Amino acid sequence: MGQEKGYLALVLHAHLPFIKHPEYPDFLEEDWFYEAMVETYIPLLSVFEKLTEEGCDFRLTMSLTPPLCNMMEDSLLIDRFRHYLNQRVELSEKEIHRTKGTEFEGVARMYFDKFRRYQDLFENHYHGHVLQGFKKFQDMGKLEIITCCATHGYLPLMVHKESVNAQIKIAAHDYRSRFGKNPRGIWLAECAYNPGDDKFLREEGIRFFFTETHGILHGTPRPKYGVYAPVYCPETGVAAFARDMESAQQVWSADSGYPGDHRYREFYRDLGYDLDYDYIRPYLHSDGVRRNIGMKYHKITGKVSLNQKQAYNPWEARDVAAEHAGNFMFNRQKQIEYLSTIIDRKPLVVSMYDAELYGHWWYEGIDFLEFLFKKIYYDQNEIKLITPMEYLQIYPENQVVQPSMSSWGDKGYHDVWLNSGNDWIYRHLIKSSERMMNLANRFPNAQGLLRRALNQLARELVLMQSSDWAFLMTTGTAKEYSTKRTKDHIKRFNELYEQIIGNRIDEGYVYSLEMRDSIFQQIDYNVYSTSSKEAVLAKY
């Protein structure tokens, strides 16, 4: 232990649902992945590279969910992303010439420089495999990559523990195949924790997970340190770390959060709408409809309409990000100093965010993180960045508390994923889960086509279980797509199920699903067997 007064654990949750449509030459919702790649994931790697070159040490915990890892390693999506990135480089280069001598010259140059750097990293450093980049920093001990439920499945609403077991086992297996070791931590999808599910985590060697604030505050017995130290789950000893609300509010708050600063980039004013149609047409989707293309030349400015936004100044915005990073650090120092007067060990503040907030939504969030890492490393000694495992090495003894059922969704429980707008899905999710488990029990040693069909059945089930669909139905955004995705997987599951029990498996059908819903190439349907679940529960 050094002279620091306390610790800060920064946690970023990187996730997108598995979206891949080989049946179309281009597909709108696939853009979510390409945008996040160029605005968040590669920019983060760029910061890690830069800090490492400069000798600035840092610590970060980051979930890379299995669907995201699968997309990052999918050759079709990699090719399409490459095309997306090339187009951005091409357009931004044209823009340097077009904006010469105007107030947009600087921002146009910024995009070109950034896109070129990201392209260089993507092609020449990582050879199209960004996971190799993340793995590199994990191997250096700076980044703790954690896993997530296989498809971001919402565990507390799974009645059959076989499904919970499978979500964890599939995820852990996927993680091992990519990072060559056990995942030590997990981000439970939506931080949704159900007491007892930690048994399935323990089985896969997972040592810690994260909960929303009241996951620990409402735990039994009372948590001595509030959320400023982890607790151990009874029986399993898996550690739970809870979110600190103060640091969360500082970034997320609508009123006072950093991202709303008027000098930051305006999200809604996009070149896709601003530029001459014929000029921008090649960079739009094949339907030719104007949409956001991810290049924006204006700042938030204030509460004015979009056409009154002023030109964005990248240097000014970067200075603001530095200022905000300084403010964030200052507040953590004060927070930790005060907490030290109340608790008898060095307090730990856990700050958790969606990774895509940084860069995609809050464009300067990437700069903010870079400055925050630098300031913490160079400018002070009071707080230290830490990963959960490092903390557990310093403080191996922790209070045993049963965390409460909770999630980080609106109202703190399951309302977002279970309400009148989406409750119809559970009839199908639960029935499919029961059917899957029955077939796994009935065919423990399937071979050949039957095995392929059962494995595909498992893929359809996990894809159906993505919490993203229920979430999108609730927010009302992409509702049509999320409803269709749910129904498609239900329908494919049922069709395949009927073929299997009717002993009339259509190989062409299995093949078409394998091509399209191609997540988890190595999936083994046996993870759904009751004996697999019982083997875990029998230990307690």
110-169 positions binding other proteins, by CB under 8 A: 156-157, 159
Both ends of the chain: CA-CA distance in Å?
A: 35
Residues 348-407 that bind other proteins (CB under 8 A): 354, 356-357, 360-361, 399-401, 404-407
Scanning 134-142, 295-303, 375-383, 386-394 for contacts with other proteins by CB under 8 A, the matching segment is: 295-303
User: Which of 94, 117, 129, 224 touches other proteins by CB under 8 A?
Assistant: 224
CB of 47 to other proteins, least distance (A): 21
Nearer to other proteins, 138 or 441 (CB): 441
CB of 59 to other proteins, least distance (A): 23
Total binding residues toward other proteins, as defined by CB under 8 A: 117
Q: Write the secondary structure of 450-515 as one string of H (helix), E (strand) and C (coil).
A: HHHHHHHHHHHHHHHCEHHHHHHHHHCCCHHHHHHHHHHHHHHHHHHHHHHHCCCCCHHHHHHHHH
Build a one-symbol-per-residue string for 480-519: x at contacts with other proteins by CB under 8 A, - elsewhere. ----x--xx-xxx-x-------------xx-xx--xx---
- Decide if 21 contacts 360 (C-beta within 8 A): no
CB of 414 to other proteins, least distance (A): 5
Nearer to other proteins, 45 or 429 (CB): 429
Build a one-symbol-per-residue string for 15-44: x at contacts with other proteins by CB under 8 A, - elsewhere. -------xx-xx-xx-xx------------
Scanning 46-54, 90-98, 210-218, 445-453 for contacts with other proteins by CB under 8 A, the matching segment is: 210-218
CA 469 to chain centre: 15
A 10 A CB-CB count for 376 gives 25
Residues 188-207 that bind other proteins (CB under 8 A): 195
Q: Is 19 helix (H, G, I), strand (E, B) or coil?
A: coil
Nearer to other proteins, 57 or 382 (CB): 382
User: Which of 141, 180, 205, 221 touches other proteins by CB under 8 A?
Assistant: 221
Checking DSSP bridges between strand 6-14 and strand 348-354, what pairing results, if any? parallel
User: Which of 88, 207, 214, 452 touches other proteins by CB under 8 A?
Assistant: 214
Nearer to other proteins, 135 or 492 (CB): 492
User: Which of 478, 496, 500, 505 touches other proteins by CB under 8 A?
Assistant: 478
Letter for the amino acid at 138? Q
Distances in whole angstroms, Cα of residue 256 to Cα of each of 48, 243, 251, 302, 336: 28, 19, 8, 14, 21
- Decide if 417 contacts 428 (C-beta within 8 A): no
CB of 404 to other proteins, least distance (A): 5
Scanning 91-99, 168-176, 426-434, 519-527 for contacts with other proteins by CB under 8 A, the matching segment is: 426-434
Nearer to other proteins, 338 or 540 (CB): 338
Residue with the two structure tokens 């187009």: 87
Question: Can you say whether residue 53 is alpha, beta or left, with left for phi > 0 and alpha for psi between -120 and 50 degrees?
Answer: alpha
Nearer to other proteins, 151 or 194 (CB): 194
Build a one-symbol-per-residue string for 166-185: x at contacts with other proteins by CB under 8 A, - elsewhere. --------------------
Residues 300-329 that bind other proteins (CB under 8 A): 300, 302-307
Q: What is the DSSP string of 137-151?
A: HHHTTSEEEEEE-TT
Q: Which of 205, 168, 199 is nearest to 66 (CA)?
A: 168
Compute, in degrees rounded to 10, the torsion defined by CA atoms 215, 217, 221, 223. Answer: 120
- Examine residue 2 and tell whether it contacts other proteins (CB under 8 A): no
Q: Is 286 helix (H, G, I), strand (E, B) or coil?
A: coil
Nearer to other proteins, 381 or 477 (CB): 477
Residues with Cβ < 8 Å from 525, sequence gap 6 or more? 436, 439, 440, 446, 451, 454, 455, 457, 458
Build a one-symbol-per-residue string for 45-84: x at contacts with other proteins by CB under 8 A, - elsewhere. -------------------------------x--xx--x-
CB of 173 to other proteins, least distance (A): 27
User: Which of 279, 330, 338, 540 touches other proteins by CB under 8 A?
Assistant: 338
Question: Can you say whether residue 401 is alpha, beta or left, with left for phi > 0 and alpha for psi between -120 and 50 degrees?
Answer: beta
The C-alpha atoms of residue 72 and residue 81 are separated, in whole angstroms, by 10
The C-alpha atoms of residue 521 and residue 517 are separated, in whole angstroms, by 10
The C-alpha atoms of residue 519 and residue 540 are separated, in whole angstroms, by 32
Residues 261-290 that bind other proteins (CB under 8 A): 264, 266-270, 273, 285-286, 289-290
Residues 82-101 that bind other proteins (CB under 8 A): 83
Q: What is the DSSP string of 207-232?
A: -EEEE-HHHHHT-BS--TTTTSS-EE
User: Which of 103, 141, 180, 222 touches other proteins by CB under 8 A?
Assistant: 222
Residues 226-245 that bind other proteins (CB under 8 A): 226-228, 242, 244-245
CB of 443 to other proteins, least distance (A): 20
